[in-house]
Amino acid sequence: MAGKRTFTMIKPDAVEAGNIGGILNMITEGGFRIVSLKLTQLTVADAQKFYAVHAERPFYGELVEFMSRGPIVAAILEKDNAVEDFRTLIGATNPADAAEGTIRKKYAKSIGENAVHGSDSDENAEIEAAFHFAGREQF
């Protein structure tokens, strides 16, 4: 059976812009159940670790600075085929390429400041969820 859980963050740009409610509404309207939810902030070290896979990419420094500059919303979401369906709901990394009806089409500003994160595999969803939430915070 396809994986049931994914991990998301509402990124600092979207929190700053007052879009937490709008994005959570699109997530629940999209059929995802909220398993865990909190407002938190990544330290520089947290952001470096979370995005370590991109350490050699030219945008890594900018990404770490952006992701640690203010509060984020972290959440675990549940739905059949959660990882793939959530990436469909958020849309392409670059909002200029994002389909109509996607979260990034509506709320992302640029390829860097793109409003939301979505895990890219079941394995990473589990790692990223555990990075942010203890077992007793998962409902």
Single-letter code of the amino acid located at 132: H
Active site residue 132: no
Q: Give the E-state strand segments of 79-139 in sequence order.
A: 116-118
- Residue 88 CB burial class (10 angstroms; 0-12, 13-18, ≥19): middle
Is 6 annotated to bind a ligand? Reply is no
> From CA 19, how far away is CA 1, in angstroms rounded?
33
The residue from 93, 105, 106, 122 that contacts ligand RTP (CB under 6 A) is 93
- Binding mask 104-133 toward Mg ion (x if CB under 5 A, else -) reads ----------------x-------------
Secondary structure (3-state) at 107: helix
Is 106 annotated to bind a ligand? Reply is no
Catalytic-role residue among 42, 50, 68, 117: 117
- The secondary structure of 116-128, three-state, reads EEECCCHHHHHHH
132 counts as binding ligand RTP under rule CB under 6 A: no
By beta-carbon proximity to ligand RTP, the closer residue of 31 and 124 is 124
> From CA 22, how far away is CA 11, in angstroms rounded?
13
Is 136 annotated to bind a ligand? Reply is no
Residues contributing to the site for ligand RTP (CB under 6 A) = 54, 59, 63, 93, 111-112, 114, 117-118, 120
- Residues making up the annotated binding site for ATP are 11, 59, 87, 93, 104, 114
